[in-house]
Amino acid sequence: MRGHDRRAFLTVTGAAVTALSGCTQLLGSRDAPGSSEGATGGSENGGQTLDTLDVGGSPGEAVPVVPDGTVTLLDFFATYCAPCKPQMAELREVRSAFPDVHMLSITWERDATGVRSFWTEYDGTWPVALDPDVETGPTYDVEALPTTLILDAEGTETWRHTGLAEAATMETELEAARQ
């Protein structure tokens, strides 16, 4: 392979690997401009609560991040994250198959208008919350996006995936968490 062709190949391959594995956005560089709707910092059922946006299946009120006695799927995402966009279709499938599971998507962005637009464009049908103070990132050791977590009814993490996760895999892991 000639030098120019090899560089082009490596550039495209590197971008594809990044898109499939997840954004490498670390906690320290998450800020985005806009309003500061989001975390309540409160506690419900012994845990964190976040304010959700009033958009597409999201109630627009404070919800527990992990409610007691409920299997939970947490999706950490960002509107600017390339693999977060196709992840929305996978999460919609999971939501359809598991309507009783507590699903919550969390972004550390501050721009509520931008998140609402993203949620509408990608047909979000479950709660979405802003956490501009990144209260949940350290709690759940999330350092890259997208990251998906499944917790059993006792709040114990049973599965974690960074990058684009398939609906079938998440569904299998949710079934296991119900056991």
Give residue limits of the domains in the chain: 3-178
Tens digit of each residue's pLDDT (9 = 90 or more) over 17-59? 444 456 754 444 333 333 334 444 433 334 899 999 999 999 9
User: Quick one: which H or E segment has residue 159?
Assistant: strand 157-162
Rounded-to-integer distance, Cα 84 and Cα 20, Å: 10
Nearest to 136 by CA among 127, 149, 153: 149
Instruction: Report the side by side order of strands in the sheet with 39-44.
Output: 39-44, 47-51, 62-64
Whether residue 16 is predicted with pLDDT greater than 60 in this model: the reply is: no
DSSP line for 102-156: EEEEEE----HHHHHHHHHHTT--S-EEE-TT-SHHHHTT--SBSEEEEE-TTS-
CA distances to 2, 63, 64, 90 from 49, rounded to whole Å, are 55, 5, 4, 25
What confidence score (pLDDT) does residue 1 get?
A: 53
Compute the average pLDDT of residues 136-151: 97
Cα–Cα dist 161/178, whole Å: 18
Would you say residue 123 has pLDDT above 90? yes
User: What pLDDT was estimated at residue 15?
Assistant: 42
DSSP 23: B
**Bridge-partner residues for 43, per DSSP?**
48
49-72 pLDDT tens trace: 999 999 999 999 999 999 999 999
Q: What is the CATH number of domain 3-178?
A: 3.40.30.10
CA distances from 42 to 59, 75, 135 (A): 17, 20, 11
Strands 157-162 vs 147-151: parallel, antiparallel or unpaired: antiparallel
Question: What is the arithmetic mean of pLDDT over 109-135?
Answer: 97
User: What mean pLDDT is predicted for residues 139-164?
Assistant: 97
Mean pLDDT across the stretch 138-158?
97
Mean pLDDT of the chain: 83
Q: Out of 23-32, 64-73, 85-94, 118-127, pick the least confident.
A: 23-32
The reported pTM is 0.79
- Dist CA 79 CA 124 (whole Å): 12
